[in-house]
Structure 1
Amino acid sequence: MCPSQYSTPFSANPSVRLSGAVLWNVAEKMDPSWWGVLKHVCRDTNAAVHKLERRLKKRSVIPMKDICRSVELLGWARQQGCPWDERTAYFVAMYGDLPVLQWAKAHGCPWDSDVCMAAARRGWPEMLHWAHASGCPWDEDTCEAAAFGGHLHVLQWARAMGCPWDERTCSAAAGGGHLHILQWARAMGCPWEERTCARAAAAGHLEVLQWARAHGCPWDKWTCAQAAASGHIEVVAWARQQGCHWDQHTCAGAAEGGHLFALRWIRSQGCPWSEETCRAAAEGGSLETLQWARSEGCPWDSRTCTGAAARGHLGILQWALSMGCPWDEGTCEAAAAGGHLHVLQWARGQGCKWDEETCREAAEAGHLECLQWARGNGCPWDKSLCIECAYQNGHLHVCQWAVVQEP
């Protein structure tokens, strides 16, 4: 995948000379996202930016959303080695104007259906019209994006031109709270499914949920679970009154969202829970919720420690371990996958086990510092697998380090 930010190579003009003090003041007053441009003015500005980067510990990257806002800047970025692929076209469609997209296409930038999806999401009919007329493909994502963005006119035009849709159009409209779009889509024969109710519940759009149910939309346990995860007790209460099913995922959703009040109410109404509740509370970072759940007899297992480690919640991990919560190799794996070196170091210091999966997770996620520390402290690895996982996910810096290491 093409990253959303790119570093730019050095190609400065050596003929321009300014004093170091002036350059420092200029760079210091600029938004860091524009240091990448300043680097290319001359050698002195390049040196000034590098010095400022070291001092502030920030990299000079230019967000693609800024590059795509003008033909001049996009053209400059291309000259400096900015990737020229379908992701570039997507960013132009999402953040730029039609003239920028037209210029990019005229200069050979490839595109795919994500361009139409981005235009529909923004509600820009002119961009969508031109892209479609110019041969840009589209698919069901276009209608889904228009529905979620609340752009009925875009959705209507796309359908009139033959753009396909599916159940996601209705679920997107429900998730965005756009009842009028959901009503129009259904009137035009758009299919729906349980996700329509679940997404309406997740966003707290009770009116949309009520209309959907009144018109026969199916639902399942995820309606209650999604509402609880967002803390929408009133939605859960209404759904239960109407006979909607719930299970342990409802408690887990409330716990992961840190909605202790909701969790208490849900439990008071007899909702079941399981080890997933403690895992969710730990992963969500709510120690208060975890402590309450345990005080009420909620079971836990090693996934509680894994969940805390995955999100870097060292304090929760420490409390859980002090209260006798079991752990296993999954704790180190989760810490490495999340790039939480301090958690990994603490866990190992407390005797937590690890295996080859710790290194693989670090490599796959691109966390070189975690991988280096793990290997330096005796963690076993499958070198070939680590290199393969890192390469598949675009982490070339990990590959470069790993390839010269001992097996």
Structure 2
Amino acid sequence: KKKLLLIVAATLILRHSTATDGAAGNSSVARPGCQDQCGNVSIAYPFGIGTGCFLEGFEVTCVVEDHHYVPFLNVSTFVEGHQLLDINVTLGEARVLSPVSWYCIDIDKNRTMNNRCFSVGPHFTISRTMNKFTAIGCSTIAFIEGESKHEYISGCTSSCDKDSIDNSGQCTGMGCCQTSIPDNLNYFRVTFLENRSFYGDTSDFSPCSYGFVVDENYFNFEQSYVSYTNFEELHGDGGVPLVLDWVVGKETCAQAQKNLSSYACRDINSYCTDVPDFPGYLCNCSQGYEGNPYLDEGCRGQHVSITTVTFFSFRADWLCEFCSLLFTNVESAHLLLTTDINECDFPRLYPCKGRCKNTNGNYACSCPLGTQSTDPKNESCIPNDNIIIVSNEYGSGELAPFN
């Protein structure tokens, strides 16, 4: 009996590991026969390089710059393509370089400026949850505006003298300021207003003001930035990282599934997710699978490895110990795959226009102090009064959006 029990236990291990390995298969990110890499960037479908290799609106070109291959995302009809930094198929995100705008006053008080614009195509928006509008300078009022001239969307102010520049690495309004951007933004242009009212003329130590939209996880302010006359060149590639959200199609999941020839979720082990407040949808691999759901056979089974044990004796207590180890590990693997997620890490699937807090099996969304919303998950929090500029004793603050 002991021998029979041991054989059954060993068979369970072999069947479990073999089934997992067989489902895994080979990983693929691009369509068959298509280029899947440009420089050090992996080009995952629906993005692609060359005819027949991308979904409409997701074309990437691979060019040579300074003897290196560099990918560019061709998504705009207004400006040149944006240098592509990486693609996240699971979250529906892509990082690109964002231009830096500037306004400078030289030693002779001559003024020069470069108000840059940024635009993306209909499948993309500039992520509100991942990016911040940021301005640098000691006498700075900066705005981002929409396509219509003088339609100011959002802005902030930064003021300081030589001794009050913040050295915490944060944007507090003393040398650097930040503010949120609107939802579903696909175009912006940065503009400046000259501001010499707080500390007088600061051009001798802070000759330029800079404005840009940047991935807030990337940017850390340094005191030396206020004295730069070439902040854009400081970052080498001529810009700062910005996160784009993207969707496929222009309809809901229910509408897209009516036409299977154009339905983007190709793998049988995938599912469709509607994106709140924006036309289009995303695809994800089903639970227990990972990979690229936009490709046929793109989702593969997740591999769970179990250490095998060799027995040199058939003592009953050893066998029971072995069975306990086996089923404990299988249960642990099950718990790992079904554990509670932090919904706040996936704002596109679990929206919150205020402050998000993870809870057991769910999440909560509330407005910051001094603001309100009837539905903070889907409607932005607005100030309780009509104050336009909220400032502190240093003259820093955020400018509320104009309607």
| Structure-1-length-normalised TM-score | 0.22
Which has the higher relative contact order, 1 or 2, with Cα contacts under 8 A spaced 6 or more apart?
2
Higher helix share: 1
Normalising to structure 2: TM-score of the pair?
0.22
